[in-house]
Structure 1
Amino acid sequence: MVEIPESTAELAAVLEEPVDLNFQLPDPEDEDIQEYDFQQLVDNAWRVCDRFDLQTEIWRGRILRVVRDREKKGGDGRGTGFLNWLKSREISKSQAYSLIELANSADTLLAEGKLNPDAIRNFSKRAFVETAKSAPEVQQLVSDKAQQGDRITRREVKQLADEWTAMSSELLPDEVKEKASAGTMPARYLAPLVKEMEKLPELHLKPLQEEVAANPDVDTVKQTTSDARFLAKYLDAAAQVQAIQHSSLDMELALQEALRLDCLNTAADLVKQASVLEQSVGKLYTTWKRLSSLSDRLYVDTGASTPHLRSLLNCLDRLTNDVIEVPLDETGEQIVRLKLMVDT
């Protein structure tokens, strides 16, 4: 890694030195160059840009962190100085904190000894960000690869993360883990299954585990992943629907019937849409009350001298009355009427 200049003058001198990225790119119309050689040349140039971009972003994050922390110590307590600093450099607040997060991740990996400074050059920018977001065990696996000189892209990070997820999860049967370990079951199919199974209560895990153990193949894993996803949606939505909570319905028996008829997807979507509708009705009522209150206030504040404001209120009557009218098309031929009746 580049050392930080100790003085402002040294820093200015470094910044004044242009970075030479004058690559000798191949001529795209040169028919004498082989495709393999062409790809190698452009790939090498791309890697240099990627490396330069990553190291620049890390240092930008460190600079932003210093400016922010300085403002916290001696500023007005609201971060105004830091925001003004960002504004003068046309940097959004979200961009700034994204860079700071990247710098924090880099410093953490370096401080914990998981990564040496020279190994950073082996990462693409996106791969480094993905590594920083990964579990500590995955970070170690990726760092080991980078320190061995391997080129690390997002694909390598995802592959290692999937392998770790598959082999470390206690939710997968041994039959599947053995196939994954032998390389006959790609980890990229198992990681999504684990993530979906983690959302389910233990009661619903056993049938899925038994199915995968009995048929440890890719098609079964894919189908089980789909079933687990819909099952999680079903259970989550059912817990939020008040119409279900306030009834004597046995959701487990309904679930068993949906599974028996192979219509879990439809049942899950049905319950999900019921939850969305209930939430929409609640939001509709709140908005209607607010609109009615504002209409009443404006009516009190207006009179004969404000005919246009009174016309505005008259136009909105169809939305502030007990019966709400909303046209479904521009012609107004199709109209939805909703009558709000609130029990107090």
Structure 2
Amino acid sequence: MPRSTTLLTPEALEPTEFKFDLPDPNDDRIAELEFQQQIEQAWQVCDRFDLQTDIWRGRILRAVREREKRSGEGRGAGFLNWLKDREISKTQAYKLIELANSADMLLAGGYIEPEDVNRFSKQAFVETAQSEPEVQQLVGDAAKRGDRITRREVRQLSDDWTAMSSDLLPEEIREKVVDQTIPTRYVAPLVKHLQKLPESHQSSIRQAIAEQPDLDTLKQATGEARSLSRYLEAAPQVQALNDESIDIENALDEAMRLGCLNSAAELVNQAAQLEQAIAKLYTTWKRVNTLSDRLYEDTGASTPNLRSMLKSLERLSSDSIEFYFGDPRGENFSHTIRLKLEDDQISDGD
């Protein structure tokens, strides 16, 4: 894919563009509307240069990384040292490289022209690069018309495209979108959640909104689709539900019949989070034990303060963990929480 090197024009590099006068916030003679307009204009200039600077930083980083791949030892040490010398984290570097790749892709694909970049806010540009090609084309067309592109415009165009193109929506809803009876911002979330559901659940929701294609029904259907997707996504992750006698699908149908789908979905989601928290608690507890044992071996009578600290932490490193929830002094609102941890490791011979 060809890479553009003409994103910044010589005129855009002129520092004179930064020579604007900010309005005096203490000058009562400046009307509030005028003050906000001047501030917004100054902010847009900074935002534009921030975006272009980051794109070029990404291109520079990409060049350094590719040079390292070509002539280095193949382990990336030279690239990492280059980042370290300039106090750039690896995560930040790869985000900038991704931004540069996105910019070159949008330019090479003809979605935008070099001068169009000046019409984007930084976040809008990143969001455009992450959008579907059809949305990129819509955003690019808006930029070529001279529109100022912010995240709001990108999301609006994305919602418009989703509402008009999705096969998951009944024709009755698409007609409402076309005549603007139903705003697209209410339709896009429904499509997002419907995509996660099996065909049987998609069909029942589509049928409901087709029979009554109004905004209230659409909102209700979106809430139901959200709860369904949460339930179906979380249930397989819960070990406590691995019992073969439990029929997850029938339990879901019963919850829907009783009108308590949201509660069931939230329960399963919280159960999944609880099991994850237990796993994290166990690994942290093991780490505390290991560090306590190591520190105990390295200390003695000459380190009474360290020994005192270890003694105090025994209530967290022992098999019975104890801590206070609330006021640790026991005053006002407080509870003492006690947990018993048992490590039943299964050996290979068991």
Give, as a single letter, the amino acid of the residue that structure 2 aligns with 1:218: L
Of 316, 322, 326 in structure 1, the residue corresponding to residue 322 of structure 2 is 326
Is the 2:55–2:103 Cα contact (8 Å) retained in structure 1? yes
**Deviation of 1:182 (Å):** 1.7
1:72 is paired with a residue whose SS is: helix
Give, as a single letter, the amino acid of the residue that structure 1 aligns with 2:324: L
5 Å matches for 1:69-88?
69-88=66-85
**Deviation of 1:271 (Å):** 1.6
Q: Deviations over 1:46-102 (max 9, x none)?
A: 333332322222222212221222222223433333233333333332222222111
Partner of 1:254: 251
* Cα distance in 2 for residues equivalent to 1:218 and 1:194: 15
Q: CA separation of 1:311/1:247 partners in 2, compared to 1, >3 Å: closer, same or farther?
A: farther
**Deviation of 1:147 (Å):** 1.3
Is the 1:72–1:79 Cα contact (8 Å) retained in structure 2? yes
Q: TM-score, length-normalised on structure 2?
A: 0.80
Is the 1:302–1:310 Cα contact (8 Å) retained in structure 2? no
**Deviation of 1:172 (Å):** 0.8
2:338 is paired with a residue whose SS is: strand
Are 1:57 and 2:59 counterparts?
no
**Deviation of 1:225 (Å):** 1.2
5 Å matches for 1:51-200?
51-200=48-197
**Deviation of 1:132 (Å):** 0.6
* Cα distance in 1 for residues equivalent to 2:273 and 2:212: 37
Q: Deviations over 1:278-298 (max 9, x none)?
A: 344445555556666777788
Structure 1: gaps (5+ residues):
6-10
User: How many residues in Structure 1 have an aligned counterpart in Structure 2?
Assistant: 333
Q: CA separation of 1:262/1:23 partners in 2, compared to 1, >3 Å: closer, same or farther?
A: same
Q: Percent identity?
A: 57
5 Å matches for 1:225-264?
225-264=222-261
Are 1:338 and 2:335 counterparts?
no
1:70 is paired with a residue whose SS is: helix
2:237 is paired with a residue whose SS is: coil
2:169 is paired with a residue whose SS is: coil
Q: CA RMSD in A?
A: 3.5
Partner of 1:209: 206
Are 1:269 and 2:271 counterparts?
no
* Cα distance in 1 for residues equivalent to 2:43 and 2:284: 52
Q: Deviations over 1:258-283 (max 9, x none)?
A: 22222111111212222233344445
Q: CA separation of 1:147/1:336 partners in 2, compared to 1, >3 Å: closer, same or farther?
A: same
Q: CA separation of 1:290/1:99 partners in 2, compared to 1, >3 Å: closer, same or farther?
A: closer
Is the 1:255–1:264 Cα contact (8 Å) retained in structure 2? yes
* Cα distance in 2 for residues equivalent to 1:35 and 1:343: 68
1:328 is paired with a residue whose SS is: strand
* Cα distance in 2 for residues equivalent to 1:44 and 1:310: 61
Q: CA separation of 1:257/1:34 partners in 2, compared to 1, >3 Å: closer, same or farther?
A: same
Q: Deviations over 1:177-200 (max 9, x none)?
A: 111122221111111111111111
Give, as a single letter, the amino acid of the residue that structure 2 aligns with 1:251: I
Partner of 1:8: none
**Deviation of 1:254 (Å):** 2.0
* Cα distance in 1 for residues equivalent to 2:34 and 2:336: 65
Structure 2: gaps (5+ residues):
none
* Cα distance in 2 for residues equivalent to 1:296 and 1:174: 67
